[in-house]
Amino acid sequence: MCSVRCFRQVSRTSKQLLRLCSNKGCKESKKCAELKAAGTCKDSIKKDEKCNKDDLEKKEKDGCKDNGKGDGKERKKVTLLEGDGVGCELISALKQVFQVTDVPVDWDIVDCYMENGKLNPRLLESLQRNKVGIKGPIDNRDLKHLWKAFGLYAYVTLCRNLEGHKSRYGALDCVVIRDVMEGEYSGIEHSVVPGILQSIKVSTSAGSDRIARYVFQYALKHKRKKITVAHKANIMKLTDGNFLSSMRTEAHKHLEKVKFEERYMDTTCLNLVMQPDQNDVLVSSSMYGDVLVVMASSIMGGKALCPSFYVSKKGLLYDTLLKPTRDIAGMNLINPTGMLLSATLMLKHLKLDSYADTIRCAVERVYKETDIRTTELGGSSKCSEVTDAVCKFISEGKK
């Protein structure tokens, strides 16, 4: 019954599967066609005994890559942190999918991230050595230690509709980049006198310039067309004014390459709800960005679907928007989609594009071809069922 309910269009020919994978407007989904072509490439190599090493290298450059163990890819080392609560289930799903895909990644596992109230030095050493890590959810009070120790200054969240999962708001494909270290989240609070409390919002020129440079670098690298900065400089003229000034200065350097616009925070929120398809790259200080991330992920379908990562000069740390959610930990209820999609971003960064495309295509097919949905998406499926479905599609692609 489960297989009949879960997989609706199983008896397809390979040509139909190829057509289904490539028939999507978004660029990422079109990569599915290349994955099917990868299998064709293997067959053609077997038939052509004259296909030497130079031919294989040329095929790789043309996008025809071998996803098997024998592809000659150098193995990568990645820091792995399970985190708290549901982190165990998310990381377990990640490992299972990587194993089925034969991803050439070796995990540098750090079991405990805090020791005696301080950040585990082994975690920091691992991140500095590997320059890439992926983690499960961590409590914010502990996460702040990691922000400061590893110099994580920006948080990037990709919010894009998954085909097959309906959204009442319409199409969305945007990136939210927010400050991590400054703004309202500087964490400086004190009591002035009994009954009067004060929180200090910090904005430095160096910090704002750093965010501005990264935002434009990201937009140009990923061929994004528009950057919108959300602010309240009309009220907070000095702090938000400083952030806005840095964005304007950087925008002036790229006038002909990417469109830049300024919007009050409330107007940005309104446009995100009323015209989600008009948003591209949204950038703001810490607390404003948190609001935009929650809104954009909700329009997409929920936090569990969003891939994200932290940025530091020392490296990148990938994760999901999910919190530890200890009340459902160990109950097999959490949605692993965002974690798996974050892993595909990580693999892209590691130049393991074919593996990233394989996993992303499989995740997309779960939403397009099956009715497997976890409870927060209106279904009744378990975390393990989503993971098994992704693995099933990956295995089918190898045949």
pLDDT over 70, % of the chain? 82
Q: What is the DSSP letter of 306?
A: -
Whether residue 112 is found in the same domain as residue 146: yes
The domain tally of the chain equals 2
Q: Which of 285, 298, 302, 296 is nearest to 373 (CA)?
A: 302
pLDDT beyond 50 at 292: yes
Whether residue 280 is found in the same domain as residue 185: yes
Give the least confident one: 67-81, 121-135, 188-202, 247-261.
Answer: 67-81
pLDDT beyond 50 at 67: no
pLDDT digits (tens, 9 = 90+) for 325-354: 999 999 999 999 999 999 999 999 999 999
pLDDT digits (tens, 9 = 90+) for 175-204: 999 999 999 888 889 999 999 999 999 999
Last residue of a domain, one of 277, 300, 323: 300
Last residue of a domain, one of 300, 332, 357: 300
Question: Tell me, what CATH number does 91's domain have?
Answer: 3.40.718.10
Whether residue 206 is found in the same domain as residue 257: yes
Q: What average pLDDT does the segment 252-280 reach?
A: 95
Q: How sure is the predictor about 50, in pLDDT bands with cuts at 50, 70 and 90?
A: very low
- Please give the pLDDT value at position 329: 95
> Cα separation of 9 and 12, whole Å?
7
User: What is the domain range of residue 106?
Assistant: 74-152+308-398
pLDDT beyond 50 at 63: no
> Could you tell me the end-to-end alpha-carbon distance of the chain, in angstroms, rounded to an integer?
25
> Cα separation of 220 and 255, whole Å?
12
- Please give the pLDDT value at position 68: 41
Whether residue 268 is found in the same domain as residue 313: no
Q: What average pLDDT does the segment 300-318 reach?
A: 95
> How many CA atoms are closer than 13 Å to the CA of 285, on its beta-carbon side?
27
- pTM of full prediction above 0.85: no
Q: How sure is the predictor about 31, in pLDDT bands with cuts at 50, 70 and 90?
A: low
Whether residue 206 is found in the same domain as residue 130: no
Q: Which of 348, 288, 354, 363 is nearest to 31 (CA)?
A: 354
Q: Which residues of 12-29 are buried (b: 16+ CB within 10 A; e: fewer)?
A: eeeeebbebbbebeeebb
Q: What average pLDDT does the segment 148-177 reach?
A: 92
Last residue of a domain, one of 278, 300, 322: 300
Q: What average pLDDT does the segment 113-141 reach?
A: 92
For residue 385, what are the CA distances in angstroms to 6, 97, 358, 366?
9, 12, 18, 10
- Please give the pLDDT value at position 327: 94
In a domain, 53, yes or no: no
In a domain, 256, yes or no: yes
Q: Angle formed by the axes of helices 14-22 and 27-47, to 10°? A: 150
Whether residue 170 is found in the same domain as residue 287: yes
Whether residue 371 is found in the same domain as residue 337: yes
Chain mean pLDDT for the chain:
85
pLDDT digits (tens, 9 = 90+) for 205-263: 999 999 999 999 999 999 999 999 999 999 999 999 999 999 999 999 999 999 999 99
- Please give the pLDDT value at position 173: 95
Q: What average pLDDT does the segment 35-61 reach?
A: 41
Whether residue 115 is found in the same domain as residue 176: no
Q: Where are the alpha helices (DSSP H) in the chain?
A: 2-6, 14-22, 27-47, 53-61, 87-101, 121-130, 140-150, 205-221, 239-252, 265-274, 286-300, 337-349, 353-369, 383-398
Q: How sure is the predictor about 12, in pLDDT bands with cuts at 50, 70 and 90?
A: very low
